[in-house]
Structure 1
Amino acid sequence: MIQRATTAALAAILLVGLSACASTGEPRSTTSAAAVDVQTTVYHEVDGKKLDADVCLPRNAHKDRAAMILVHGGGFTEGSRSSMRKLCEQFAQRGVVGVAIDYRMLPDFAYPAPVDDANSAVAWLKQPDIAAQYAIDPARIGMLGSSAGAIITASVATEPDTGIAAGVALSPVADMTPSGLTLGTPSPEAIATILAYLGCTKIDDCPQSVPASPLKAVSKGDAPLFLAGGSRELVPRQQVKALHDALQAAGVPTELTVLAGERHGLALLTDKMRNAIFDFVKARLQS
């Protein structure tokens, strides 16, 4: 039965968002224990809000490098780019520029604001001066997202004329329409989170659920996608498999890994999974 959650009920279920770090707009450099240069800068300003990115740079001076935008999870209410710092550095260690971003979140910003911000990060990296500054090849930009970030990543990857060349989605919800509730058994908390993201109070009266659902946007021009989920996690595995099957049917290169158990989002990153992702990204973003 579809839960007809009220706005008040949603607020009671969703967590309070964490405050974003302040930024001066000027790049700030640090050197991590992994000997990777990390620069923090503003990649976009919208609605009077400055959105920060941590840019993790490989030590080599090779030009025209690939880049991976990293999008954090947190139910669209909390979290920050800092949770993607380890991955950011690991990509840099492999010669790929990592770019961990913040984005606008609930309760002030619902769909499509988070997706718009991710697209702004892509557009920012493709600017000639920014691409030159970080030695990035604008044609070799990918995106990786966890949980809420996986929804954002899958949304960007399935857009017409998507700006990314590859995507990795860890525990994405693919179908947010009423039919999506037939894919496994989503919890009331998960339904409430999606309703809040969509800006709706009930799923069967939510027109934006269609454009917000990556599954409904799949076409042959989509970016190759690596998909992962847990067999008994927050996001029903049927959601992830439905997206994988649709991409396959459209002729889009895709890989699917479902781990046994309740692992969700970044918790899916076993050593084997991490290596499979690096191999997928290397193959899809090679020059």
Structure 2
Amino acid sequence: MQAADAIRAMSHELGPQVVEACRALYAADHAALAGCVPVLASDCVYGSHERQRLDLYRIAPADDVPVVLFVHGGGFRVGDKAGGANVARTMAQAGFLGAAMNYRLLPDARWPQGGEDVVAAVEWLRAHAAAHGGNPMRIVLIGTSAGAVHIATALKLRPDLPLAAVVLLSGLYGHTPLDARDEPYYGPDADYPHRMPREAVAQTTIPLFVACAQYDPPRFQAEFLGLMQDRLHEHGTMPAGVIAPGHNHYSLAMHIGGEDGRLTDAIVGFIRSL
């Protein structure tokens, strides 16, 4: 069965079994990337917690290239930078300095610590990227699901964060009600609207690329459309964006660097256009 057929059969479902099924679809692509793009520097320490680590990827000596940091998803509970290595490696293949980070998870982390970790990782890259061939003034963030949430939270915490661009894949920005599964991270329902980064993401002047998947759950599709509407209201135009056909909430990031190059090409083209 082709990947597109398998994803269509999964429909809008979420859960560990769907994650594993998607991983199996892209395991060969990820292995091929690992063979082409080895780790340049692993477990770089950007904070005191054991989860505050990031990896760097580059395929050739470079100088002054954009730095592209990937922030994985996982519902605030699970996930690892190794699972997002395909994105960082693909960015390295495109000629950038690729990076993938870990961040604190439940039960250790509560809002806004995921966003604080993104800020800390950016500050580390600003201090150290040049030593690895990256331009510390050309940092781009890519996040999926909870990773997109943490990037958006970082924009709320630090509107002045010096970023070249932000890519948000299937995130939550404040256009839908709190899901009970997320209450351990966000806290009580009454606090949720005040903690969401809706205004920060709508108002930022940092260039944005926003995507969701054809088979994303309705909540994530509503967040995508709400963000687009907010941006149109605030700026008179929508940001660059894609509704990725034939993909679901998990395959949206997992397939980057694989045979289906539509989203990869759009993101790389966006970064090169800056």
TM-score band w.r.t. shorter chain = 0.7 to 0.9
Contact 2:173 2:201 in 1 (8 A): no
SS of the aligned residue for 1:126 comes to helix
| Preserved CA contact (<8 Å) 1:89 1:98 | yes
Matched, 1:84 2:72: no
Higher relative contact order (Cα pairs below 8 Å, separated by 6+ residues): 2
Report the AA paired with residue 194 of structure 1: D
Q: Could you report, residue by residue, the CA deviation over 1:52-101 in whole angstroms, capped at 9, with x for unpaired residues? A: 21100231x23111101110111010010011111111111111111100
Equivalent residues of 1:36, 1:93 under 8 A apart: no
- Residue 244 (structure 2) pairs with residue 245 (structure 1): no
Q: What TM-score comes out, normalization by structure 1 length?
A: 0.74
Does residue 228 of the first structure (1) align with residue 211 of the second (2)?
yes
For 1:214, the equivalent position in structure 2 comes to 197
2:141 alignment partner, one of 140, 143, 149 = 143
TM-score normalised by length of structure 2: 0.77
Deviations 1:14-47 (A, max 9, x none): 98xxxxxxxxxxxxxxx9411444310333223x
CA contact (8 A) 2:80 2:102 kept: yes
Shift of residue 254, structure 1, vs aligned partner: 1.4
Instruction: Specify the alignment match of 1:263 in structure 2.
Output: 248
Give the distance between the partners of 1:116 and 1:108, measured in 2 at CA: 13
Q: What residue is the counterpart of 1:73 in the other structure?
A: 73
In the alignment, which residue of structure 2 is the partner of 1:155?
153
Q: CA deviation at 1:257?
A: 1.4
* Count of residues in correspondence between the two structures: 236
**CA RMSD after TM alignment:** 2.5
The structure with the largest helix share of the pair is 2
Q: Which of 19, 32, 35 in structure 2 is aligned with 1:33?
A: 35
In structure 2, what residue type is equivalent to 1:272?
Answer: R
Deviation at 1:162, TM superposition (A): 2.4
- The CA deviation at 1:262 is 6.4
Q: Summarize the alignment of residues 170-181 of structure 1 with structure 2, pairs less than 5 Å apart.
A: 170-175=169-174, 180-181=176-177
In the alignment, structure 1 segments of 5+ residues that lack a partner are 1-13, 16-30, 182-189
| C-alpha distance in structure 1 between counterparts of 2:62 and 2:213, whole Å | 37
Cα deviation, residue 261, structure 1 = 6.2
Aligned partners of 1:250, 1:55: CA distance in 2, in Å? 35
Structure 1 distance, partners of 2:247, 2:51, is 35
Residue aligning to 2:63: 63
Contact kept? 2:57, 2:97, Cα under 8 Å: yes
Unaligned segments of structure 2, at least 5 residues: 1-14, 17-32
Q: In structure 2, what is the Cα distance between the partners aligned to 1:258 and 1:118?
A: 25
Alpha carbons of 1:231 and 1:90: their partners in 2 closer, same or farther (altered >3 Å)?
closer
Measured against aligned partners, the alpha-carbon deviations of 1:216-275 in whole angstroms (never above 9, x if no partner) come to 224544321111112442333121111122223333871121235661144364421121
Q: In structure 2, what is the equivalent of residue 93 of structure 1?
A: 93
Larger radius of gyration: 1
Please give the alpha-carbon distance, in whole angstroms, between the structure 2 residues aligned to 1:90 and 1:195.
34
